[in-house]
Amino acid sequence: MITIGELSARSGMATSALRYYEREGLIRAERTGGNQRRFPRSELRRVAFIRAAQNVGLTLEEIREALATLPDGRTPTRADWERLSRVWRHRLEERIAELERLRDKLTSCIGCGCLSLQRCKLYNPGDRAARAGAGARYLLGDTPQPMAAAEREDDASIS
Amino acid sequence: MITIGELSARSGMATSALRYYEREGLIRAERTGGNQRRFPRSELRRVAFIRAAQNVGLTLEEIREALATLPDGRTPTRADWERLSRVWRHRLEERIAELERLRDKLTSCIGCGCLSLQRCKLYNPGDRAARAGAGARYLLGDTPQPMAAAEREDDASIS
DNA sequence: TCTTGACTTGAAGTTCACTTCAACTTCTAT
DNA sequence: ATAGAAGTTGAAGTGAACTTCAAGTCAAGA
């Protein structure tokens, strides 16, 4: 059993983050008589798992769900890791493909300059989920509405 | 001159977002005697520009700066668009490359399962900026500290 | 003229993943 | 026994990009 300070030093996460993870049910601790946390060493691997998953772009909510697929909240084994990391790679590849599509659109738009609300490929509201620094809003499907057909009478084209 | 409702309908942005953009100095409106906003039609193109830039992953702050390079806060012309969109494509390409590096690391890690705090490539704190749904914190260089050398005595490896 | 829909404001709320703070308690080493 | 480091809590703050709300005002058609 290790203290929160030790877990923090060994994992590189701030103690405040570890307390937050515990509140959120991502890691687990027992308590001393004086109410201090004592973590099993196995939680070290859970923290490593959480952090690797974050690097791949998962939210804590998704990570919690992934961990919940492990029986009894056990620490991930090699088999668990293999199963889950395959899913993650798939997600990463989708995201890369998405950004590549966006890049290609941008490339084809550079000489154009129209910024047409109807015709510009870059303007597509469906693409907003691709934003790099996106607020969670856009990852959760709260996309803005496209322009109604009745309103296409004028547009923002330059030429 | 169009009302905020019209600008909203034609651009697909919520009126609340347009008011926010005005407060933030991204778009401009005149006022009627009764204090209602009236937007020049050219603001339609500014909104299109803002939205395209957001799709590429720029923050509103960066977009404001880009717009500020235009004399007199004028609406972007084709030449402006060409200049700025080249920069954006470059940024997109960097981001794609970053995600590809991450994918390659994950691929090489799938069979490994170690989740070693020292050796796992996925665990590298420097990569956290690559998070897809990153909070602004990570895009601003506030990265967690790597593990101190003195603390490497044990680790989270499975095997 | 009157109703109704569109508009106004400032303040507060939202999300995520935390951090910071204050006020206090516990643990460890001497 | 005691100093001081490390731990505890709940509440509030952070940042981006907005949205929602309340309480009103304005504008356009019948």
For the stretch A33-54, pLDDT in tens is 999 999 999 999 999 999 999 8
Predicted pLDDT of residue B112 = 78
CB contact under 8 A, A103 and B89: yes
Of A92, A148, A156, the CB nearest to B103: A92
Please name the residue of chain A whose CA is at the shortest distance from the CA of residue B113: A78
CA distance A101 to B135: 24
Nearest CA in chain B to A84: B110
Identify, with chain letter, the residue nearest to nucleotide D14 (CA–C1'): B137
Residue whose structure tokens are 């395959």: A86
pLDDT at position B77: 86
Return d(Cα A155, Cα A118) in angstroms, integer. Answer: 7
Among B27, B42, B54, B98, which would you mutate to test the A interface (most chain A Cβ atoms within 10 Å of its Cβ)?
A: B54
Q: Could you report the per-residue pLDDT of A103-141, keeping only the tens digit for each?
A: 988 888 887 777 776 667 776 654 443 443 322 222 222
pLDDT recorded at residue A61:
92
Pairs across A and B, CB distance < 8 A: 200
Please tell me the predicted confidence (pLDDT) of residue B56.
86
Tell if the CB–CB gap between A85 and B55 is shorter than 8 Å: no
pLDDT score of A71:
87
> Could you say which of A47, A92, A146 has the minimum Cβ distance to residue B106?
A92
* Chain-centroid distance, C-alpha A42: 24
Is A8's pLDDT higher than 70?
A: yes
Q: What is the mean pLDDT of chain A?
A: 79
Coil, helix or strand at residue B13: coil
Distance CA B70, CA B28 (A): 14
User: Do residue A54 and residue B128 have CB atoms under 8 angstroms apart?
Assistant: yes
Q: B12 vs A144: CB contact, 8 Å cut-off?
A: yes
Q: What percent of chain B has pLDDT over 90?
A: 42
Q: For residue range A75-96, what is the model confidence (pLDDT) as tens digits?
A: 888 889 999 999 999 989 988 9
* Three-point CA angle B152, B154, B159, nearest 5°: 120
- Among the ranges given (B8-12, B34-38, B141-145), the one the predictor scored with the smallest mean pLDDT: B141-145
Contact A76, A84 (CB under 8 A): yes
Cα B134 to chain centroid, rounded: 10
**DSSP symbols for B94-141:** HHHHHHHHHHHHHHHHHTT----TTT-GGG-GGGGGG-TT--HHHHTT
- Quote the CA–CA distance of A72 and A50 in Å, as a whole number: 17
The pLDDT value recorded for residue B126 is 45
Residue of B132, B128, B53 whose CA lies nearest to A139? B132
pLDDT class of A7 with cuts at 50, 70, 90:
very high
Task: Report which of residues A72 and B22 the model is more confident about.
Answer: B22
- The whole model's pTM is what? 0.79
Confidence of residue B147 (pLDDT cuts 50, 70, 90): very low
Domains and CATH numbers, chain B: 4-92 (1.10.1660.10), 120-158 (no CATH)
Distance from CA of A34 to the nearest CA of B (A): 26
Which candidate from A44, A117, A131 shows the least CB-CB separation from B48?
A: A117
Contacts of B151 in chain A (CB under 8 A): 9-10
Chain-wide mean pLDDT for chain B?
79
Structure confidence at residue A98 as a pLDDT band (50, 70, 90): confident
